[in-house]
Amino acid sequence: MKYLIIGLLLAICSPLCRAEDGSRLWLRNRTEEGKAKILFSGTIKGKENKQTLDIARDELRKGWTGRQNVALKLDPKAAGHDGYDIIVGRGQTTVASATARGLLYGSYALLRLQVCDTLTEGKHWTSTPAYELRMLNHWDNPDGTIERGYAGRSFLFEMGNPSFEKDGGKNRLNRNTLVQYARANASVGINAVVVNNVNAKPEMLTDSMLHHVADIADILRPYGISVWMSVNFASPKALGLCTTADPLDPSVVLWWKKTADKIYRMIPDFGGFLVKANSEGEPGPMDYGRNHAEGANMLARALKPHGGKIMWRAFVYNAGGGDRAGQAYDEFMPLDGTFDDNVTIQIKNGPIDFQPREPISPLLLSMQHTHTAMEVQITQEYLGESIHQVFLAPMWKEALDLTDRYGRMPHSTHPGGAIAGVANVGNDRNWTGSDMAQANWYAFGRLAWDPQLTSGKIAREFLSLTFSSQPQFLQAMIPVMTHSREAAVDYMMPLGLHHIFAGGHHYGPEPWCFHEGWREDWLPRYYHKADKEGIGFDRTRGLGSGTVEQYPDSLRKLYADRQNCPENLILWFHHMRWNETLHSGETVWEALCHHYDRGVRTADNFARIWKDMKPYVDSQRWEETLKRYERQARDAWWWRDACLLYFQQFSQQSLPLDCPAPKHHLKNLMDYSLDMDNYSAADMKKLP
């Protein structure tokens, strides 16, 4: 009896048994008020800085479990650019910075180190951010929906959902949700937020919406976060205030100037505008015969007196404009050097569109006289939404490393250096739809601060802070996370294949996808070009599209040469014969089969490993995560069978002997259509 009671008590008290809903993210190691004192020295000026310092103190008071006192030291000689120094001294740990924001970042860093490192006397760390602007781009719409969002609805815009409180008939922001969101961002160094979708509605610039955005800005400001907006280039015309949106028309210039003045009266530290122009049907300067620079500079000049900036996107491709992969370069390179100093060209990491693997965008490497920023996608539009557990740090590092090595304009050091990530958060309790997807939000912030961090280190930090720092758990799960992106590439589109998704939702495989009337470059066949001869997109000069020529010399030589082109991009740059031999000694067909198989095996293995993690994780998150790993493993088979059976029609070859027989029939897969609106990880029955 005695043992039963003790057992019951243990069970009730054990943190593993307590369900966790994931809402506390990686910030869950909060204790009751610690014993140590949090001290401060220095002279703090301004209300905002004081608020920021108060937050730093509060975080340490609640999160610091050490016995030593912590001294926050505002010191002009300490790390600048919002960086920090941490010194573990005798009897006291010091966090020093030249700015209040630096003290906040240093405090979060100390709390992280307390879990992920050992704080022995004499140790010290100095860290400054690589990018000045570390931005999240929300694709949230004023009606509360989120484009490519897989974590519920918007907590920034939805009027009337649980994130909002009714207030005398008016809907106001839920302050607490925004504070938690701000903490999460600040804890990983994110310091700028674009609140709305790049496919922007003109009504974003109405007074009531601006007031709403100003409210958001007030809450985020003490956390060091500036607020930005996406704007619709045709706003002055669409709102009926001008007869045109021509950027050279004086009435348009004046309208934007007045609008900017108004915004800065409401939000003095407003960051600026993000603009998607002349892309996928959005309006832009080219509607009036003007170029991107004329459009961007006109807006930039309206914001300049207030210190505001323009992020102008280079995601452009016109029907009939040649190889889609080459169009951003063709459109923007001739304009290099014509953009104003407060304009940054925001360029997706790859030349097409956030595919599981793309080569680096040649535009990112080539602009020399223009500020550029890389845009990555945190939300998993093309990587299994919030169902597949794919850790994206390895993918982003691939792009960051190449930009570092081959970029003409060292992206991280030029003034105004920026990086943007399309957010994966919504009003789901766990913010990101799945607990593991939080890792991608975390990783984006950490890499934006320090692109030199390894994926393994970021995974270790995330797992320790969010789930458990038990060595057995970390040993098992760090490799799962760091291999997960390559596994997804293997079971979705290996060897440089791209864009062979189902049209519309982009979740499942559909290499055969065809819709009457769709643009050719929205169809998978445009990208895989499978035929009796072989498979792959020839982008070399001569018979191919020639866009490989857009790369700097050393990369161009590498990619253009089918003998030396990295195997993981071979079908991106070359149309290969089915029986052509690769470096591995396999034929293209064999390699394709083996990659798909490896993906399936690895995904199966992830689910098995997670099953064994039960002792280390609370039941709620363990179960939710298990469902997703199992779903992912099943989807991997679906992908593999769909693609191999489809391509087999062209290769006319049987699967290699070591490949298992397919589980599905091609016809069933082709007849099947997934209703993504009613699809969830829990829903195991819906698959073919």
The b-or-e profile of 353-384 (16+ CB within 10 A means b, else e) is bbbbbbbbbbbbbbbeebbbbbbbbbbbbbbb
- In whole angstroms, how close is the CB of 48 to ligand BDP at the nearest point? 33
Toward ligand BDP, which CB reaches closer, 49 or 355?
355
* CA atoms of 54 and 46, how far apart (whole Å): 13
Comparing every residue's Cβ against ligand BDP, the nearest one is 353
Residue 381 a catalytic site member: yes
Length of the chain equals: 688
| Nearest 10 degrees: Cα torsion 674, 676, 678, 679 | 80
Contact (Cβ atoms closer than 8 angstroms) between residue 460 and residue 116: yes
140-147 long-range Cβ contacts below 8 angstroms, 24+ apart: 140/195, 140/196, 140/197, 141/196, 141/197, 141/201, 142/196, 142/201, 142/203, 142/204, 142/209, 146/197, 146/426, 147/197, 147/199
559-567 long-range Cβ contacts below 8 angstroms, 24+ apart: 559/359, 567/495, 567/591
| Nearest 10 degrees: Cα torsion 548, 552, 553, 554 | -100
Q: Which of 54, 132, 353, 586 is catalytic?
A: 353
Toward ligand BDP, which CB reaches closer, 523 or 535?
523
Q: Which of 158, 381, 428, 624 is catalytic?
A: 381
- In whole angstroms, how close is the CB of 194 to ligand BDP at the nearest point? 12
- In whole angstroms, how close is the CB of 378 to ligand BDP at the nearest point? 12
How many residues belong to the site for ligand BDP (CB under 6 A)?
A: 10
- In whole angstroms, how close is the CB of 177 to ligand BDP at the nearest point? 25
Residue 354 found at the interface with ligand BDP (CB under 6 A): yes
Q: Interior CA angle at 327 toward 325 and 330, to 5°?
A: 130
3-state secondary structure 97-130: ECCHHHHHHHHHHHHHHHHHCCCCCCCEEEECCC
**In what helix (H) or strand (E) does residue 368 lie, and over which residues does it extend?**
none
Q: Looking up tokens 């479990």, which residue turns up?
A: 65
Toward ligand BDP, which CB reaches closer, 381 or 486?
381
- In whole angstroms, how close is the CB of 375 to ligand BDP at the nearest point? 8
Binding positions for ligand BDP, 498-517, rule CB under 6 A: none
- In whole angstroms, how close is the CB of 313 to ligand BDP at the nearest point? 7
Q: Looking up tokens 């706003």, which residue turns up?
A: 235
- In whole angstroms, how close is the CB of 388 to ligand BDP at the nearest point? 17
Binding positions for ligand BDP, 556-575, rule CB under 6 A: none
The b-or-e profile of 387-400 (16+ CB within 10 A means b, else e) is bbbbbbbbbbbbbb
- In whole angstroms, how close is the CB of 634 to ligand BDP at the nearest point? 25
Pairing status of strand 124-127 against strand 84-88: antiparallel
Residue 280 a catalytic site member: yes
The contacts of residue 553 (CB under 8 Å, 6+ apart) are none
Toward ligand BDP, which CB reaches closer, 230 or 235?
230
Toward ligand BDP, which CB reaches closer, 256 or 317?
317
Out of 140, 381, 428, 590, name the contact with ligand BDP by CB under 6 A: 381
DSSP state of 373: E
Q: Which of 280, 520, 561, 683 is catalytic?
A: 280
Q: Interior CA angle at 585 toward 581 and 590, to 5°?
A: 70
3-state secondary structure (DSSP) of residue 645: helix
* CA atoms of 379 and 527, how far apart (whole Å): 23
Residue type, 151: A
Toward ligand BDP, which CB reaches closer, 134 or 148?
148
Binding positions for ligand BDP, 282-321, rule CB under 6 A: 315
| Nearest 10 degrees: Cα torsion 377, 378, 380, 386 | -170
Toward ligand BDP, which CB reaches closer, 353 or 549?
353
- In whole angstroms, how close is the CB of 586 to ligand BDP at the nearest point? 32
Nearest to 274 by CA among 248, 239, 299: 299
Toward ligand BDP, which CB reaches closer, 246 or 381?
381
Toward ligand BDP, which CB reaches closer, 354 or 637?
354
Toward ligand BDP, which CB reaches closer, 146 or 173?
146
- In whole angstroms, how close is the CB of 234 to ligand BDP at the nearest point? 16
Out of 148, 221, 290, 627, name the contact with ligand BDP by CB under 6 A: 148
- In whole angstroms, how close is the CB of 71 to ligand BDP at the nearest point? 45
β-partners of residue 193 are: 136, 227
Contact (Cβ atoms closer than 8 angstroms) between residue 283 and residue 230: no
* CA atoms of 482 and 394, how far apart (whole Å): 7
Contact (Cβ atoms closer than 8 angstroms) between residue 269 and residue 221: yes
In order, the DSSP letters of 578-634 are TT-B-TTS-BHHHHHHHHHHHHHHHHHHHHHHHHTTGGGS-HHHHHHHHHHHHHHHH
Contacting residues toward ligand BDP, per CB under 6 A:
147-148, 198-199, 276, 280, 315, 353-354, 381
- Give the catalytic positions in this structure: 280, 353, 381
